[in-house]
Structure 1
């Protein structure tokens, strides 16, 4: 059972309680995931953020409207052709301190959500035209649920003004995926951050840190396996083994 609705599931915003989302913003570049390793984030980082109450059906267009309404100074003048990129920032469940202690800072990862381009593609004079700002191209209709957002994740956004020739600025390269643990090789990992079943070392349903093995997606409840006692059968093993799916 998913912890957030599927992309095609309707949400009644009149009866569904919204959750608190913290949106971090920066001009001409994204925040590094490493900046979020302290929980809660330091005050200097929180100063460049907005607190938004919203729902999993919130679109990038809605986030853009909230951001530009609250902080119009983030936009250049004219603002048409400005690209606002979004990334999901979330804790790395693979990051377990070597000492086993809980005081070491955790590691955070980022994932591309998409970008929105303001008022691009119209032929008339659009300088600071409110109607033009309402026209958004790109991934404007992508929702948090589409990205498998989990309550507690952060959203990082970056504002990229048009280039000198008026063209839309490209997004910077995505942050490369981190494989294994720092400084070491590691077995292939499923999208839940735990080693996949292709590794050696047993086939227990639950690993030593209490995170189940198997093919479950981040943002979903873990599979319910019956644990078998010593010397006794009857415990249902995970079947199929399927392929690892990328996050």
Structure 2
């Protein structure tokens, strides 16, 4: 019988169970910080709503987006905590001690229909209670031109 000879001193490795096969999970890449002195900020259109996110139908017609819009100039390395603090400046409901802010990106899918994709949540008063505070727009795959929906709960 012909075959490849195995070296005598080779030790057998255990075969991993099926669910763990494949490449090891990669750590989520952290985005590079932006030099805010040299980099032009982007315009982020933010739509706030008390109780939940705007439904995707609210964004279906260009120019007829929800009226509760706030425009923020920021960078892709802005964290959800930074955005929380900015929203608190313009939305009194977001300042309540027990308020939670849910963030979602709003963008058109390949068919042109808008999608509302939740990406994170923060508490109005951080106190280190949420890991999402330190997530940046870039970490969450934000694309310039996406809208940001903020549900104040």
TM range (shorter): 0.7 to 0.9
Q: Secondary structure at the match of 2:58?
A: helix
Larger helix proportion of the pair: 2
Q: Which residue of 2 aligns with 1:87?
A: 104
Task: Give structure 1 stretches of 5+ with no counterpart.
Answer: 1-5, 96-105, 120-133, 161-247
User: Radius of gyration: which is bigger?
Assistant: 2
Q: How does 1:64-143 map to 2 (within 5 A)?
A: 64-72=84-92, 74-75=93-94, 79-93=96-110, 95=111, 106-119=112-125, 135=127, 137-138=129-130, 139-143=132-136
Report the count of equivalent residues: 124
- RMSD between aligned alpha carbons? 1.7
Could you report, residue by residue, the CA deviation over 1:69-116 in whole angstroms, capped at 9, with x for unpaired residues? 1222x237xx222111000111011x1xxxxxxxxxx31112121100
Q: After TM superposition, give the deviation of residue 118 of structure 1 in Å.
A: 2.7
Higher RCO by CA contacts (8 Å cutoff, separation 6 or greater): 2
Mapped pair 1:149 → 2:142: yes
Could you report, residue by residue, the CA deviation over 1:164-211 in whole angstroms, capped at 9, with x for unpaired residues? xxxxxxxxxxxxxxxxxxxxxxxxxxxxxxxxxxxxxxxxxxxxxxxx
Structure 1 residue ranges, 4+ long, deviating more than 6 angstroms after superposition: none
Measured in 2, the distance between the counterparts of 1:36 and 1:80 equals 30
Q: Which residue of 2 aligns with 1:26?
A: 49
Q: After TM superposition, give the deviation of residue 159 of structure 1 in Å.
A: 0.7
TM-score using structure 2 length: 0.74
Larger strand proportion of the pair: 2
Measured in 2, the distance between the counterparts of 1:75 and 1:54 equals 19
Q: How does 1:215-230 map to 2 (within 5 A)?
A: none
Measured in 1, the distance between the counterparts of 2:129 and 2:40 equals 29
Measured in 1, the distance between the counterparts of 2:128 and 2:106 equals 23
Q: Secondary structure at the match of 2:76?
A: coil
> Is the contact made by 1:89 and 1:154 (CA closer than 8 Å) also made in structure 2?
yes
Q: After TM superposition, give the deviation of residue 136 of structure 1 in Å.
A: 5.2
Q: Secondary structure at the match of 1:65?
A: helix
> Is the contact made by 1:22 and 1:52 (CA closer than 8 Å) also made in structure 2?
yes
